[in-house]
Amino acid sequence: MITFEAVSKSYPGGGRAALTEVSLAVAPGEVFGVIGASGAGKSTLIRLINGLEKPSGGRVVVDGDDVAALGVEGLRALRRRVGMIFQHFNLLSSKTVAGNVAFPLRLAGVAEAEVKARTAELLARVGLTDFATKYPAQLSGGQKQRVGIARALATEPKVLLCDEATSALDPETTEQILELVSNLNRELGLTIVLITHEMDVVRRVCDRVAVLDGGRVVETGTVEAVFLHPASATARRFVLEADGAPSEAAMVDGRVVRLTFRGEATYRPILGAVARETGVDYSILGGRIHRLRETPYGQLTLSLAGGDVEAAIARFRADGVRVDLVTEAGR
């Protein structure tokens, strides 16, 4: 549905390129996450998809169209197929909820009777039927984002772009919006590209994820692969922070390992046994129970020191616990 072929982007007068040689492919019906630190190029990447920015090099192809080659009319048609929602909702404050949702339809010249019917249908889909005549200022953040989603869906897009769409919302509201987004993906077969700095969001809804660092893609994979076995230092740092471990965990003495417990291994009293048998001391740097979509798993970040650290790692592995090395020995 979306491919980036060696895409680079420099802004006029900007220093370092915002994106360098980015290649990726998003399949139809997929929820694709993009994570990266502030300034990594996430918003730039998403704005290239709907032609708000043009690449300085390489090609962005969306639903068969080379975005940079589209004229004004072609871009307009593309933007009807690619909806977008924003962190701060970007609603028109002078229009009602219904007026905001109807806006792209009126812009597209849809007949008024159809605008009315379609707006009612969209408001029902996002659970805002009773709010049609309210103004944005009268809504909660979650309700505003529902209006944003209904508006983005008005032109029946194939792709929905979400730039930090839940970052301004509390955890419970985030959960509800993510559920809505997941349903849209399933029920409408919508392809979704979702940018976020919240690792929970990626774990809850994404199928695959790309990790951006300094404008380059440093890792791409299924959410399961990237979160359970991160290959790049950047992904490891995100995953470590998502464990509740401070990023300074990487600075402590000893070897820092991340244990992943799934299924039966979760319930065995394994830490004490391994410490006794191998003489290794451990300190706990972080730990949480997470869910990958519906599957729970536990992760514990430990620093291991003294005794036979290699034997301890082998013993964990023999017991069905996954061990990832966060730092090497002797750093």
Ligand X SMILES: Nc1ncnc2c1ncn2[C@@H]1O[C@H](COP(=O)(O)OP(=O)(O)OP(=O)(O)O)[C@@H](O)[C@H]1O
> Residues in contact with Mg ion, total (CB under 5 A)?
1
User: Among ligand X, Mg ion, none, what does residue 160 contact (CB within 5–8 Å per kind)?
Assistant: none
Query: Helix (H, G, I), strand (E, B), or coil: what is residue 245?
Result: coil
User: Among ligand X, Mg ion, none, what does residue 171 contact (CB within 5–8 Å per kind)?
Assistant: none
Question: Does the protein bind Mg ion through residue 166 (CB under 5 A)?
Answer: no
Nearest to 246 by CA among 305, 302, 213, 286: 286
| Contact status, residue 127 vs residue 97, Cβ threshold 8 Å | no
CA pseudo-torsion sign 240, 241, 243, 244: positive
How far is 52 from 50, CA to CA, in rounded Å? 6
Cβ of residue 195: shortest distance to ligand X, in angstroms? 7
Beta-bridge partners for 290: 297
Cβ of residue 163: shortest distance to Mg ion, in angstroms? 6
Nearer to ligand X by C-beta: 42 or 203?
42
**Residues 7-46, mask of contacts with Mg ion (x by CB under 5 A):** ------------------------------------x---
Nearer to ligand X by C-beta: 161 or 257?
161
The secondary element (H helix, E strand) that includes residue 300 is strand 295-305
User: Among ligand X, Mg ion, none, what does residue 14 contact (CB within 5–8 Å per kind)?
Assistant: ligand X
What's the DSSP call for residue 323?
Answer: E
Question: Would you tell me which residues interact with ligand X (CB under 6 A)?
Answer: 11, 14, 18, 36, 38-44
Which residues 183-212 are close enough to bind Mg ion by CB under 5 A?
Answer: none
Nearer to ligand X by C-beta: 102 or 226?
226
Nearer to ligand X by C-beta: 213 or 243?
213
Query: Helix (H, G, I), strand (E, B), or coil: what is residue 149?
Result: helix
What's the DSSP call for residue 297?
Answer: E
Cβ of residue 40: shortest distance to ligand X, in angstroms? 4
- 283 dihedral zone (left: phi>0; alpha: psi -120 to 50; beta): beta
Nearer to ligand X by C-beta: 28 or 39?
39
| Contact status, residue 85 vs residue 37, Cβ threshold 8 Å | no
State phi, psi for 222 to the nearest 5 degrees: -65, 155
Cβ of residue 50: shortest distance to ligand X, in angstroms? 14
Cβ of residue 232: shortest distance to ligand X, in angstroms? 16
Nearer to Mg ion by C-beta: 43 or 278?
43
How far is 135 from 147, CA to CA, in rounded Å? 10
Cβ of residue 287: shortest distance to ligand X, in angstroms? 27
State phi, psi for 258 to the nearest 5 degrees: -115, 120
Question: Does the protein bind Mg ion through residue 100 (CB under 5 A)?
Answer: no
Nearer to ligand X by C-beta: 216 or 322?
216
Cβ of residue 43: shortest distance to ligand X, in angstroms? 3
Nearer to ligand X by C-beta: 39 or 263?
39
Which residues 248-277 are close enough to bind Mg ion by CB under 5 A?
Answer: none
How far is 129 from 120, CA to CA, in rounded Å? 7
Nearest to 125 by CA among 95, 91, 151: 151
| Contact status, residue 83 vs residue 122, Cβ threshold 8 Å | no
User: Among ligand X, Mg ion, none, what does residue 28 contact (CB within 5–8 Å per kind)?
Assistant: none
Binding site for Mg ion (CB under 5 A): 43
